[in-house]
């Protein structure tokens, strides 16, 4: 079939070669963006007197018709037209006749595809930011209801100090807050227009790049035409921001998987986000949490894939860059899906407060309280640490915990101990007293939740 670019060719590629080179099987995802970009381009051509108003109107109407058909899923794309840009141009010419061929004046597929990608991320990054807010809101709601639920806090996955479960959840709130800031920050670079850069060198037509940029909701234009068509940093940045977000989600997945195990029993994941086993009738598997943890791998893969594609490409556009798309689409889908599932999973998880509190009574996570106790009475902390370490060893030998050790043994270990140590050893008291800024004390956690809510209101 005759190509839109077929003038200098005497032979056509065989079908399987054509198929290998085509991006239409996946870049049809950009249909809306491609038409939107063309509408802005043709409006600019009209405004600058490059095309006659009559032609502009015909092209506009043709594009709007295609836009409508795209919305109704009525467009059928063909591999022989290679990509979304040529498919749409061909359809336009079929709709309105040869005047449709004027649309590509002063433009190349190179600035066109870059424009489409910017528009695509503009839409989806804003969507992701909203979904992060919803996820954070679910975390805040759970936290608010469980300020006084106490769990052992861990370091090295060894019980360290008792903490408020709400405080633990809120740690994720702040990670996600940073992720959101990163995405927002990246919008500056996403909202930049490459349109009008042409193939790489600009154009002889008296175009107005600022005008088409403003029609597309971009805040600025690329300064350099070569950079405009070669740059994929904004996609790398998106993949990197998404990798960080997925890494955070994955860490929480891991915790939820642990917490819902028989060994912990801190939470119960709602049935809607779990599955059974085909052989073991008792099983309830935290599939969605595992899957999100797993999907983190493909997002990292997409980041490394694109960095590797780009590293050896000379300026300006190279066909290699067509490989930028699938990883980006896949990441958008993965991040959006993961956030939606996760929000539901957090909102519906049931907290087993009794089990949590029982866990804090069967460990030595209150040992720091004793050391702090002695230090607050003037003993150097290092010495206090040593004394308490020995007491822990005594308890381990006798197979009980610090609360079970008789008072006279405390007194023998150090004269500074008084009867009130048993209050200090209570995990509830231990948590309640940690009201340094950003700490797990109940008052501090309440305050942090308030701050978080204010942040969410501001968006
Ligand atoms: N399908 C191409 C891509 O996705 C569009 C740009 C093609 N430009 C070119 N000069 N062949 O990268």
- Name the phi and psi angles at 439, rounded to 5: -85, -175
Q: What's the predicted TM-score (pTM) here? A: 0.94
Cα 23 to ligand 1 centroid, rounded to whole Å: 8
- For 247, counting Cβ atoms within 10 Å of its Cβ (0-12 exposed, 13-18 middle, 19+ buried), the class is middle
Structural tokens at position 192 = 């930049």
Protein residue closest via CA to atom 12 of ligand 1: 322
For 93-140, give the DSSP string: HHHH-GGGGGTTTT--HHHHHHHHHHHHHHHHHHHHHHHHHHHHHHHH
**CA angle (390, 394, 397) in 5-degree steps:** 135
* Residue 83 CA, closest ligand 1 atom number: 1
Cα 86 to ligand 1 centroid, rounded to whole Å: 10
Cα 124 to ligand 1 centroid, rounded to whole Å: 22
Residue 447 domain-assigned? no
Both 354 and 372 in one domain: the answer is no
336 contacts 127 by C-beta, under 8 angstroms = yes
pLDDT greater than 80 at residue 12: no
Both 175 and 251 in one domain: the answer is yes
Residue 403 domain-assigned? yes
pLDDT tens string 162-195:
999 999 999 999 999 999 999 999 999 999 999 9
Mean pLDDT of 292-316: 98
Instruction: Centre a 10 Å sphere on the Cβ of residue 332 and count the other Cβ atoms it contains.
Output: 20
Q: What is the CATH number of the domain that holds 384?
A: 1.10.40.30
- Predicted local distance difference test score (pLDDT) of residue 200: 98
Cα 70 to ligand 1 centroid, rounded to whole Å: 21
Question: How much is the mean pLDDT over the chain?
Answer: 95
Both 174 and 90 in one domain: the answer is no
Q: Which of 23, 31, 33, 231 to mutate to test the pocket of ligand 1 (most atoms within 8 A of CB)?
A: 23
Structural tokens at position 328 = 């980006």
Both 371 and 352 in one domain: the answer is no
Residue 301 domain-assigned? yes
Q: What is the CATH number of the domain that holds 52?
A: 1.10.275.10
CA–CA dist 204, 225 (Å, integer): 13
Task: Work out the pLDDT band at 11, boundaries 50, 70, 90.
Answer: confident
- Predicted local distance difference test score (pLDDT) of residue 459: 66
Instruction: Centre a 10 Å sphere on the Cβ of residue 31 and count the other Cβ atoms it contains.
Output: 20
CA 154 distance to own-chain centroid: 26
The set of protein residues with a Cβ atom below 6 angstroms from ligand 1 is: 23, 27, 83, 109-110, 113, 317, 319, 321-322
Cα 319 to ligand 1 centroid, rounded to whole Å: 6
Residue 430 domain-assigned? no
**Left if phi > 0, otherwise alpha if psi is -120 to 50, otherwise beta: which for 13?**
beta
Q: Of 358, 390, 411, at which residue does a domain stop?
A: 358
pLDDT tens string 186-233:
999 999 999 999 999 999 999 999 999 999 999 999 999 999 999 999
Residue 456 domain-assigned? no
Both 259 and 308 in one domain: the answer is yes
Both 233 and 352 in one domain: the answer is yes
Both 165 and 99 in one domain: the answer is no
Protein residue closest via CA to atom 3 of ligand 1: 322
For 36-64, give the DSSP string: HHHHHHHHHHHHTTSS-HHHHHHHHHHHH
Q: Of 43, 73, 105, at which residue does a domain stop?
A: 105
Q: Which of 83, 114, 195, 197 to mutate to test the pocket of ligand 1 (most atoms within 8 A of CB)?
A: 83
Task: Work out the pLDDT band at 338, boundaries 50, 70, 90.
Answer: very high
Cα 305 to ligand 1 centroid, rounded to whole Å: 18
- Predicted local distance difference test score (pLDDT) of residue 275: 81
pLDDT tens string 230-280:
999 999 999 999 999 999 999 999 999 999 999 999 999 998 888 887 777
Would you please indicate which residues are annotated as catalytic (active-site) residues? 156, 277
Cα 336 to ligand 1 centroid, rounded to whole Å: 27
Cα 114 to ligand 1 centroid, rounded to whole Å: 9
Instruction: Centre a 10 Å sphere on the Cβ of residue 158 and count the other Cβ atoms it contains.
Output: 10
CA–CA dist 254, 261 (Å, integer): 11
38 contacts 103 by C-beta, under 8 angstroms = yes
Domain that holds residue 378: 367-425
Q: Which of 6, 322, 325, 329 to mutate to test the pocket of ligand 1 (most atoms within 8 A of CB)?
A: 322
Q: Which of 3, 79, 81, 113 to mutate to test the pocket of ligand 1 (most atoms within 8 A of CB)?
A: 113
pLDDT greater than 80 at residue 281: no
CA–CA dist 198, 127 (Å, integer): 30
Both 144 and 271 in one domain: the answer is yes
CA–CA dist 92, 61 (Å, integer): 10
Both 58 and 165 in one domain: the answer is no
- Predicted local distance difference test score (pLDDT) of residue 284: 81
CA–CA dist 402, 362 (Å, integer): 10
pLDDT tens string 432-442:
999 999 999 99
Both 387 and 339 in one domain: the answer is no
* Residue 82 CA, closest ligand 1 atom number: 1
Cα 20 to ligand 1 centroid, rounded to whole Å: 13
Total domains in the fold of the chain: 3
Both 351 and 372 in one domain: the answer is no
Burial call 194-218: b when 16+ CB within 10 Å, e when fewer = bbbbbbbebbebebebebbbebbeb
pLDDT tens string 94-104:
999 999 999 99
Both 161 and 46 in one domain: the answer is no
- Predicted local distance difference test score (pLDDT) of residue 30: 98
pLDDT tens string 35-58:
999 999 999 999 999 999 999 999
Q: What is the CATH number of the domain that holds 302?
A: 1.20.200.10
- Look at the block and give the residue holding tokens 């004793």: 370
Protein residue closest via CA to atom 4 of ligand 1: 322
Determine the length of the chain.
Answer: 459
Residue 452 domain-assigned? no
Residue 129 domain-assigned? yes
Q: Of 105, 138, 169, at which residue does a domain stop?
A: 105
Residue 85 domain-assigned? yes
């Amino acid at each position: 079939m005759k190509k839109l670019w077929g003038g200098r060719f005497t032979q056509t590629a065989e079908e399987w070669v054509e198929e290998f080179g085509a991006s239409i099987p996946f870049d049809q995802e950009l249909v809306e963006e491609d038409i939107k970009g063309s509408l802005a381009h043709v409006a600019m051509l009209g405004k600058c007197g490059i095309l006659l108003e009559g032609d502009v109107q015909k092209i506009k109407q043709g594009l709007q018709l295609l836009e409508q058909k795209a919305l109704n899923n009525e467009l059928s794309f063909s591999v022989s037209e290679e990509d979304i840009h040529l498919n749409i141009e061909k359809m336009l010419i079929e709709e309105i006749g040869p005047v449709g061929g004027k649309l590509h004046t002063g433009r190349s597929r190179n600035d066109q595809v870059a424009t489409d990608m910017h528009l695509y991320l503009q839409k989806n990054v804003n969507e992701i930011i909203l979904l992060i807010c919803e996820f954070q809101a679910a975390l805040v709601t759970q936290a608010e209801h469980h300020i006084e639920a106490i769990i052992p806090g861990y370091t090295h996955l060894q019980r360290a100090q008792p903490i408020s479960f709400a405080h633990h959840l809120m740690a994720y709130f702040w990670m996600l807050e940073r992720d959101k800031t990163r995405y927002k920050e990246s919008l500056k670079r996403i909202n930049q227009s490459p349109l009008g850069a042409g193939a790489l060198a600009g154009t002889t037509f008296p175009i107005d790049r600022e005008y088409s940029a403003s029609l597309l909701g971009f805040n600025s234009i690329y300064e350099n035409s070569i950079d405009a068509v070669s740059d994929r940093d904004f996609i790398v940045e998106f993949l990197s921001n998404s990798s960080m977000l997925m890494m955070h989600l994955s860490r929480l997945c891991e915790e939820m998987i642990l917490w819902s195990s028989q060994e912990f029993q801190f939470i119960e994941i709602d049935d809607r986000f779990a599955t059974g086993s085909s052989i073991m009738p008792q099983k309830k598997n935290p599939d969605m949490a595992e899957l999100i943890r797993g999907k983190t791998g493909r997002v990292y893969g997409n980041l490394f894939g694109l960095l590797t594609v780009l590293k050896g490409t000379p300026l300006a556009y190279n066909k290699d860059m067509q490989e930028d798309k699938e990883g980006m689409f896949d990441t958008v889908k993965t991040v959006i899906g993961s956030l939606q599932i996760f929000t539901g999973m957090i909102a519906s998880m049931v907290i087993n407060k009794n089990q949590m509190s029982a866990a804090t009574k069967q460990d030595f996570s209150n040992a720091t309280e004793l050391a702090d106790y002695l230090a607050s009475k003037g003993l150097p902390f290092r010495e206090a640490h040593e004394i308490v370490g020995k007491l822990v060893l005594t308890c381990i030998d006798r197979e009980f915990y610090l609360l079970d050790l008789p008072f006279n043994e405390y007194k023998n270990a150090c004269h500074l101990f008084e009867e009130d140590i048993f209050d200090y050893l209570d995990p509830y008291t231990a948590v309640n007293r940690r009201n340094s800024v950003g700490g797990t004390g109940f008052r501090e956690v309440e305050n942090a939740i308030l701050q978080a809510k204010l942040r969410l209101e501001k968006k």
